[in-house]
Amino acid sequence: MPFHFVRSLRPRTRGLLLVATAAVLWSTSGLFIKALPLGPYPIALWRSLVAALTMLAIMKLRGQPTGIGFKPIDLACAGSYAGVLISFVVATKLTTAANAIFLQFSAPIYLLFLEPWVFRRPLQRRDLWAVAACLGGMALFFGGRMEPGGMLGNALGILSGLCLATFTLLLKWKREHEPGRNPAGAIVLGNVAVALICLPLALPMVRLSLGQVGALAFLGVFQLGLAYLIFSAGMRYVSATTAMIISMLEAVFNPIWVFLGVGERPSPSALVGAVVILGVILWYSLRSPAPEAPVAAG
């Protein structure tokens, strides 16, 4: 994405584009996690380790401070981020990729009511309608079959949604209250936490093929490391609820990549639900928003 083009856009449009780009990168996770013949913990370990190194390298090349700190807000942000990654990877292994991603994106429900309370902003009616319509799309999705054998995976998918809402809210809080610090430091710290937590669970290590190394490298560099830097940049210009609504593009594209790669078919009702969600995101993005309180760019 050419930087001069992004910088020429209006702030809100810039934020929407950055968050949408991150969501498309995130959406590739289901395909690689399903295709890799590894358990969830080795995948989470190597993906997060590569992501942390990638983010540090990019910040070093750009001359940015890492922003890594150990204040309570830093630890809470890193902990919720680690919860997102671990619970989602395990959920994707235990249930279908579509189930895992749609349950993760229950996050806007929590943000819809938490963000106005935390940031003392009025509840936006357009946010309420957008989240309700997206939930309608999810309801269509779950009109398909839900396998009882995947109930643990489904529960972890819900946990992933709770962690994602918490992480997004805390990241926004850091953006507004610590404008001089790079919030990506908490993401790096979260990736390190994931690697440390998963290390004993990933033992004994198995020898990886060249293709598996390539897949893990893609997950760490692009699907996680670069994607979260782009998402963090987009959070400068939009609210946490807006970011989550646009991020639901991940829920649409994730099952598509899995279907194209490994043939796991979403149900017809899931496809209808995906069309509904895409339509809501398009309407939400093009419709002029109500004025929001200014956001510190940091």
179: pLDDT strictly greater than 90:
no
Of the listed ranges 59-68, 173-182, 213-222, the one predicted with least confidence: 173-182
In a domain, 103, yes or no: yes
Q: Write down the residue that tokens 């918490």 correspond to.
A: 166
| 86, 194 Cβ separation under 8 angstroms | yes
User: What angle do helix axes 249-262 and 97-104 make, rounded to 10 degrees?
Assistant: 170
What local confidence, expressed as pLDDT, does residue 47 receive?
92
Positive/negative CA dihedral, 196, 197, 202, 203: positive
| 274, 131 Cβ separation under 8 angstroms | no
What local confidence, expressed as pLDDT, does residue 298 receive?
33
Q: Which pLDDT tens digit goes with each residue over 57-105?
A: 998 898 888 888 888 989 999 999 999 888 988 887 787 766 777 778 7
In a domain, 93, yes or no: yes
In a domain, 224, yes or no: yes
In a domain, 114, yes or no: yes
DSSP 266: P
- Domain span holding position 195: 18-286
3: pLDDT strictly greater than 70:
no
177-190 burial, b at 16+ Cβ within 10 Å, e below that, comes to: ebeebbbbbbbbbb
In a domain, 293, yes or no: no
Task: Return the higher-pLDDT residue of 273 and 139.
Answer: 273
Rounded to whole angstroms, how far apart are CA atoms 55 and 187?
Answer: 9
Rounded to whole angstroms, how far apart are CA atoms 272 and 292?
Answer: 32
DSSP 120: T
Task: Return the higher-pLDDT residue of 276 and 261.
Answer: 276
Contacts of 35 (CB under 8 A, 6+ apart): 215, 261, 262
Rounded to whole angstroms, how far apart are CA atoms 99 and 168?
Answer: 21
Rounded to whole angstroms, how far apart are CA atoms 103 and 62?
Answer: 36
In a domain, 216, yes or no: yes
Number of domains comprising the chain: 1
In a domain, 11, yes or no: no
Please count the CA atoms within 13 angstroms of the CA of 275 that sit on its side-chain side.
Answer: 6
Task: Return the higher-pLDDT residue of 145 and 121.
Answer: 121
Rounded to whole angstroms, how far apart are CA atoms 141 and 289?
Answer: 28
In a domain, 90, yes or no: yes
Rounded to whole angstroms, how far apart are CA atoms 226 and 288?
Answer: 29
Beta strands in 138-279 (DSSP E): none
What local confidence, expressed as pLDDT, does residue 97 receive?
66
Q: Which two tokens stand for residue 138?
A: 């999810």
Mean pLDDT of the chain: 82
pTM metric for this prediction: 0.80
